Structure 1
């Protein structure tokens, strides 16, 4: 004859909670990760707003009418945030014998930027990136026809100095190897004084026949912040879902009651559901 034994809901529930509840440290770590993921998403939204404002600001500067470069008195205050990519013009006389070649890769292929000091009437000097030349025209003797003498006026974009070198490559002034347009280092190597702390990228309209190819400035600001934000938020909500299943799933379980004949003294013990014990049948 079969014997029916009821395991009380208190005993079974205690064992179930012990098995389902993660350690306190893991719970705290999960909550901290959720907060961090939300914070990263909000930060990317803020970065996106900043990037859009930067793009709009640069677009306005590039397409504005050309204005004179900042005066020497304001040079210490020149910054990327306030001045980079301003449409400017500057006049003076090129010092072609002090030009510097900086390695470059452009839409025209590999080669060099030609940076030439421009001597101004007030005694100050401005480095001008006259444009690009391929490797076979590295020697200045191959482009003498493009080296104008006398007074010239250059129109282009104000660029901020690029100190220390290019990506994974440092400038080596003593061997005349340049990978970035480091104004201070180039000025020191060429014996220049009173040099502006920025340089000017000459635009195509300033190009001289037979000289470097101007107007190749690349203005590109990667803007993937929305994708990053959605990724962080998605991870946060996935983690929140996991926490809900772990801690809140039992709140929505439906209770089931097995009806027993009237007068059965064991009816209450044979209830089933989240508040009752497990009925085990033994032979």
Structure 2
């Protein structure tokens, strides 16, 4: 082997070793990040479980300015009032297939209103007509944060009556509603055949442990490759 060939081989080994070291650091960092995400997801699941099974918060008595929809999402709530105004149908996909969420304002006695997701209907059920109670009702369900910016890769089109997400502010503006709560409520299942309530998804995918083990496995492989490349030099 000539001197130049030896220098080239040494440079190649150093380059591969540097690459393996960078990979080990990167994979290790991703593994640590997934461990942190796992802790966050476990905390979220525990918080949602606690909020969704707690004693309902009475929205008639609550100060809505003190409610953070993001921090209070899935909080069990209840409210009394009359359904008023028109229904807003937002596109939905559920265990029953494709269809719509029926969003209806619930007018409280004090003049405030909260948007209620009364449940899911199919296109056929929508066309057949959606009944609603005319008397004062008490609705129980889960508090949900607004869904701005549309959904299904589409923006809401209020003028055409096409809704792809449950954007509370946009629905309120389109319906001319004042003093509307900055959140909506997913109603529990009722006695009527439809809308079908109680379909809030309370399970969250949690694959962070698998991802963490994968990244740490790749870290070990990178470290082994680094050792294998440098083993002769380490012996000497």
TM-score (norm 2): 0.90
SS at match of 2:148: coil
Deviation at 1:133, TM superposition (A): 1.2
**How many angstroms apart in 2 are the aligned matches of 1:73 and 1:218?**
26
**Candidates 67, 78, 82, aligned match of 1:89:** 78
Corresponding residue number in structure 2 for 1:41? 31
Is residue 157–residue 163 contact of structure 2 (8 Å, CA) maintained in 1? yes
Deviations along 1:89-118, whole A, 9 cap, x unmatched? Answer: 0111101x4210111111122211100001
| Aligned: 1:72 with 2:59 | no
**Which protein is bigger by CA-based radius of gyration?**
1
**How many angstroms apart in 2 are the aligned matches of 1:221 and 1:46?**
16
Is residue 100–residue 186 contact of structure 1 (8 Å, CA) maintained in 2? yes
**How many angstroms apart in 2 are the aligned matches of 1:210 and 1:30?**
61
Is residue 116–residue 185 contact of structure 2 (8 Å, CA) maintained in 1? yes
The equivalences for 1:196-235 within 5 A come to 196-204=181-189, 207-235=190-218
The equivalences for 1:148-167 within 5 A come to 148-167=133-152
**Candidates 31, 37, 48, aligned match of 1:58:** 48
Is residue 161–residue 181 contact of structure 1 (8 Å, CA) maintained in 2? yes
Alpha-carbon distance change, 110 to 15 in structure 1, aligned in 2, over 3 angstroms: closer
SS at match of 1:64: coil
Deviation at 1:157, TM superposition (A): 0.2
**How many angstroms apart in 1 are the aligned matches of 2:197 and 2:48?**
19
Gaps of 5+ in 2: none
**How many angstroms apart in 2 are the aligned matches of 1:66 and 1:109?**
30
| Aligned: 1:114 with 2:102 | yes
Corresponding residue number in structure 1 for 2:130? 143
Deviation at 1:120, TM superposition (A): 0.8
Deviations along 1:8-67, whole A, 9 cap, x unmatched? Answer: xxx889965652442756544432332111111001001001101110111111111222
RMSD of Structure 2 on Structure 1 (CA): 2.3
Alpha-carbon distance change, 26 to 242 in structure 1, aligned in 2, over 3 angstroms: closer
Between the two proteins, the alignment pairs up a number of residues equal to: 234
Deviation at 1:124, TM superposition (A): 0.9
**How many angstroms apart in 2 are the aligned matches of 1:168 and 1:143?**
27
